[in-house]
Amino acid sequence: MQRIRIRRHLALLAVLAGLGLLAAACGEDEAGEAGQDTLDEATEDDPVEITMYYPIAVGGPLEDVVDGLVADFEAEHPEIQVNPVYSGNYDDTIVQAQSAIDAGDVPATTVLLSTDMFSLIDDDLIVPFDELVTDEDEEEWLDSFYDEFMLNSRDGEGTTWGIPFQRSTIVQYYNKDAFEEAGLDPEQPPGTWDELVDMSAQVQEGSDVEWGVQMPSSGFPYWLFQTFTTQMGVEIVNDEGNEVYYDQPEVVEALEFWHSLNDEHGVHPPGVVDWGTTPEDFLQEETAIIWTTTGNLASIRDDAPFDFGVAPMPENVEPGSPTGGGNFYIFEGAPEEEQRAAFQLIRFLTQPEQAAEWSIETGYVAPSPEAWETDQMQEYVEDFPEAEVARDQLGDTVRELSTYQRGEVYDIVNDGLQAAVTGEQSPEEALADIDERANEVLEPYR
């Protein structure tokens, strides 16, 4: 009899819990409808106001471009007023967004690294875009982006937490004039690791450049290094973002190769190479080849005083690069009407015409195939086919390193890689330390 009473009690609790969830869901629906009603009732004289933080991690005067895109949106949606806030680099931006949230002034949307997704989910800071979709057109928009960019935008269950905006891959930029001066074919960039070493040595010897090749090891060293591991044919993180694999022999070989470019071959600057000055070193003809984001393409296009080329990444076991760059997120703590206004802004900014304009002005990869079919993009790539390189190598990309506790894991990885690059630790020692310490951080998330 006692067992029957317990079963009845548990059944009653289950029913009550179900009713509670149903009530909560109904409450959320009602709040969402109220938010949409408020947005529907907004006018040019009484608009819904939203704040959008955004970083710029590449060269060029891009604030005016953002302001222009926002002005176009406001002209189409006078009931929404946007306050775009340039917030420095990606790390500065997440700090500013967090400070605003702590102060109770939650921004409706912010552009942050696509790799911030797991940490933002873990901290309950963002809402899924799927919850804000209201019709089939919006559903189709969610599915309109390149699959490679959605790998860092959806979780393992397919929920969409971020929308690709300023996305990238790593590409090779090379000085064609220096290649020709050194007796190299200016139309033949390095296609393999061996060719990279040989051509770097030849151009360094036969032209006025100081260094054959340069890869930044500050700012985003984890990202540059993932290029080497991808070309070794290995993955360094699982899909759940809770385990990394830096102690594989192929990963050690990848770091040994990076270290050897200076230590053995003498074609790469010694020590830590700065992320921000690498494009400038290329423009100043101090180095003949650089590996960096396609997001620097527009500034190099506009400022290079020499003929240059853009090439896909060379291969070792296979070709490849991680994707990179930033996604839009919508914040949980913003009022419903601001979330829905931010949804409209993000949808506008990622439409083919606006995505094409942002890609042309920056060099970032327009995130949807439709953007590449617009007249403006077709005319652009006809005159400047280098813009297609990053898009064309998407089939050889992997998901950028993305984990829970992203900031702490990145610090561990970046510090370890710099210790190896500077010779403080051997590549094998540095990677063993990275693997152990990063997995200790991630262990609670398994």
Question: Are 167 and 365 contacting, i.e. CB atoms less than 8 angstroms apart?
Answer: yes
Show the 3-state SS of the chain.
Answer: CHHHHHHHHHHHHHHHHHHHHHHHHHHHHHHHHHHHHHHHHCCCCCCEEEEEEECCCCCCCCHHHHHHHHHHHHHHCCCEEEEEEECCCHHHHHHHHHHHHHCCCCCCEEEEEHHHHHHHHHCCCECCHHHHCCCHHHHHHHCCCCHHHHCCCECCCCCECCEEEEEEEEEEEEEHHHHHHCCCCCCCCCCEHHHHHHHHHHHHHHCCCCEEEECCCCCCHHHHHHHHHHHCCCCCECCCCCCECCCCHHHHHHHHHHHHHHHCCCCCCCCCCCCCCHHHHHHCCCEEEEEEEHHHHHHHHHHCCCCEEEECCCECCCCCEEEEEEEEEEECCCCHHHHHHHHHHHHHHCCHHHHHHHHHHHCCECCCHHHHHCHHHHHHHHHCHHHHHHHHCHHHEECCCCCCCHHHHHHHHHHHHHHHHCCCCCHHHHHHHHHHHHHHHHHHHC
Which pLDDT band holds residue 11 (cuts at 50, 70, 90)?
A: very low
Reference 363, options 107, 147, 57; nearest CA is: 57
Q: For domain 48-167+324-395, which architecture applies?
A: 3-Layer(aba) Sandwich (3.40)
Q: Are both 48-167+324-395 and 169-322+399-445 of the same fold?
A: yes
pLDDT at 2: 36
Q: Percent of the chain at pLDDT above 90?
A: 85
Q: Which fold has domain 169-322+399-445?
A: D-Maltodextrin-Binding Protein; domain 2 (3.40.190)
Q: Where are the domains of the chain?
A: 48-167+324-395, 169-322+399-445
Q: What is the mean pLDDT of residues 229-250?
A: 95
Q: What is the mean pLDDT of residues 209-218?
A: 96
pLDDT in tens, 16-54: 444 444 444 445 555 567 788 899 899 999 999 999 999
pLDDT in tens, 325-362: 999 999 999 999 999 999 999 999 999 999 999 999 98
pLDDT in tens, 395-428: 999 999 999 999 999 999 999 999 999 999 999 9
